[in-house]
Amino acid sequence: MPSILEDAALVVIDVQNDFCAGGALAVPDGDAVVPAANRLIEAFQVVILTQDWHPPGHASFASAHSGAEPFSMTEMPYGPQVLWPDHCVQGTEGAAFHPDLDTRRARLVLRKGTDPAIDSYSAFFENDRVSVTGLAGALSDLGVEHVVLAGLATDYCVCWSALDARALGLNVSLVEDACRAIDMDGSLASAMTNMLQAGVRLTNSDAVLFG
């Protein structure tokens, strides 16, 4: 049986400056994912990095809605939406990958959230649940049927990516020590429950690297 390192793709979700210490939407302890992610990147043959890449004035920004506070909720045509602080604006330092993340071995860099009217948590679908990012097609072209997920944040972009990957019929492993969560109003516990119920396998980087 082939090693997970040989038959799976590593997908590293949104390890960007705005989600790390000092960033506009910093995930608590977000920088801690970088060493674990780098260890995994070194070992996998197929590495894919995702990047939140919003145009200025994106509809998911609280600043785009008069009187709205960051982290409040609004209703979009596609459903409920958290209004975030401005973050990961295209071409800004905040949108850049964390400077210590090893990006050299990436087979693909996938940018999401580029539609000014639709947010995109998942690496597979935008939040309207119809618009695709192209990741599923890329994985199919590469012959990948198993994805290993790391990055930020466990309870939003990582979780949505994991659930979509399972819905698409992929095997999914979540590397817990290579992820960190926002954990807003119980969102982490809910995300973990949903992922486990969907058949996502929880693991850690040592288990992935050394079996």
Express each pLDDT in 14-38 by its tens digit: 999 999 999 999 999 999 999 999 9
**Locus of tokens 């295209």:** 90
Asked, for residue 79, whether it belongs to a domain, the answer is: no
Q: What is the CATH number of the domain that holds 150?
A: 3.40.50.850
* Structural domains in the chain (count): 1
Catalytic residue among 102, 112, 177, 179: 112
Share of the chain above pLDDT 90, in %: 95
Asked, for residue 80, whether it belongs to a domain, the answer is: no
Catalytic residue among 88, 157, 159, 179: 157
Q: By C-alpha distance, which of 205, 107, 211 is closest to 149?
A: 205
Confidence of residue 5 (pLDDT cuts 50, 70, 90): confident
Q: What is the pLDDT of residue 2?
A: 53
Q: Which residue has the higher pLDDT, 2 or 82?
A: 82
Asked, for residue 93, whether it belongs to a domain, the answer is: yes
Q: Give residue 188's domain range.
A: 4-54+87-210
Bridge partners, residue 112, by sequence = 52
Q: Identify whether 18 is a catalytic site residue.
A: no
Q: Identify whether 179 is a catalytic site residue.
A: no
Asked, for residue 78, whether it belongs to a domain, the answer is: no
Asked, for residue 42, whether it belongs to a domain, the answer is: yes
Q: What is the pLDDT of residue 1?
A: 40
Q: What is the pTM of this model?
A: 0.96
C-alpha distances (whole Å) from 165 to each of 141, 144, 198 are 15, 11, 10
Q: Identify whether 164 is a catalytic site residue.
A: no
Catalytic residue among 14, 86, 102, 155: 14
Residue 203 has pLDDT above 60, yes or no: yes
Q: Under a CB-based contact definition with an 8 Å cutoff, are residues 61 and 116 in contact? A: no
Share of the chain above pLDDT 70, in %: 99
Helices 187-198, 159-167: inter-axial angle, 10-degree rounding: 20
Q: What is the DSSP letter of 116?
A: T
pLDDT digits (tens, 9 = 90+) for 34-86: 999 999 999 999 999 999 999 999 999 999 999 999 999 999 999 999 999 99
